[in-house]
Structure 1
Amino acid sequence: MTLTKNIKKYIDKSVLCWLATSSSKNIPNVSPKEIFTCYDNETIIIANVASPQTAKNIKENPNICLSFIDVLVQKGYQLKGKAEVISKESNEFETLELPLLKITDGKFPFASIFKITVESAKPIIAPRYILYPETTEDQQIESAKKSYGL
């Protein structure tokens, strides 16, 4: 599946993403990730800063779900696909590491990289847009700012 301009826009606007995995025994795990980006038109990479359970689950079961939203606009995407753990010993690591190092300025060491091949995408939108279709993004931003005390 190709990552559209709109999906990439929301990835760039999102501070965190949430990566859901499941063990071989189908025990779910979800954890926030702060260092992530599009690598190409079908791949997202995430720095593994401190996520041993996520790494273990991906090795046991590569199926993942990744979600991210712009918290003020309250729109984003849910992506599903396959993940793999790219270790520092891998030939791919140095190449994949470069865009992540740009994000961190090299200040956060990471043990490995989660490489996600996206297979499907579904938009996430706040219920207000559905219940009140006349809602504009500017109105939603103002509402979110009030809710968050900004």
Structure 2
Amino acid sequence: MINKFARDLIEHWHLGFVATADADGNPNVSPKGTFVIHDETTIGFAEMRSPDTLANIAVRPQVEVNFIDILTRRGVLIKGEASFVPRDDARYPSLRPTYTNRWPELEPMFSGFVIIKLLSCKPLATPSYDLGVTSEDLRAKWVQRVRDINIIHKGSEIEEC
């Protein structure tokens, strides 16, 4: 079940890293920035550029999704079973408002939605907490780091690896 911490995390950050595997067991991890919570046991994301994720879900519906608050280094790991709801599916119209209310400009790119039924939801935290570091300490440290990165990389473009 999705507890209050997980709900707040997903609703504020929206970004989850989805891990899947193909028929041969080869892994794929893909960031998805349109996560929503449908109910206590169901999350989903709008599918836009996910050919490998969709292909993997078609043969192996088991997924793991990692959500992390990058400032406090706390998160959740969700395991579940995923299914794809394409635009021409009868369920699409009832799911659509949940996503278009948040991201109306992206709706033309949606090919459908990936719906994940939760099997488990476990908390994650950096080992720094074991040493007595607080959320406030980490938040201050990483906010400064983000400021430093923005100064260094201001105006940088994404390049091919």
What is the CA deviation profile of residues 96-121 of structure 1, one whole-angstrom value per residue up to 9, with x for unaligned ones? Answer: 12111111124342111100001011
Query: Any conservation in 2 of the 1:64–1:82 contact (CA below 8 Å)?
Result: yes
List gaps (5 residues or longer) in structure 1: none
What is the CA deviation profile of residues 10-29 of structure 1, one whole-angstrom value per residue up to 9, with x for unaligned ones? Answer: 11122421001111111110
Correspondence 1:50-129 to 2 at 5 A: 50-108=49-107, 109-129=109-129
Q: Is 1:139 paired with 2:137?
A: yes
Which structure has the highest helix share of the two?
A: 2
Tell me which residue corresponds to 2:147. 149
Q: The residue matched to 1:39 in structure 2 has which SS?
A: strand
Pairwise CA RMSD = 1.3
Alpha-carbon separation, structure 2, partners of 1:32 and 1:107 = 16
Identity of aligned residues (%): 27
TM-score (norm 2): 0.86
Shift of 1:149: 3.0
Alpha-carbon separation, structure 1, partners of 2:137 and 2:67 = 20
The structure number with the bigger radius of gyration is 2
Shift of 1:148: 2.6
Alpha-carbon separation, structure 2, partners of 1:15 and 1:63 = 20
Query: Any conservation in 1 of the 2:14–2:36 contact (CA below 8 Å)?
Result: no
Tell me which residue corresponds to 1:25. 24
List gaps (5 residues or longer) in structure 2: 149-161
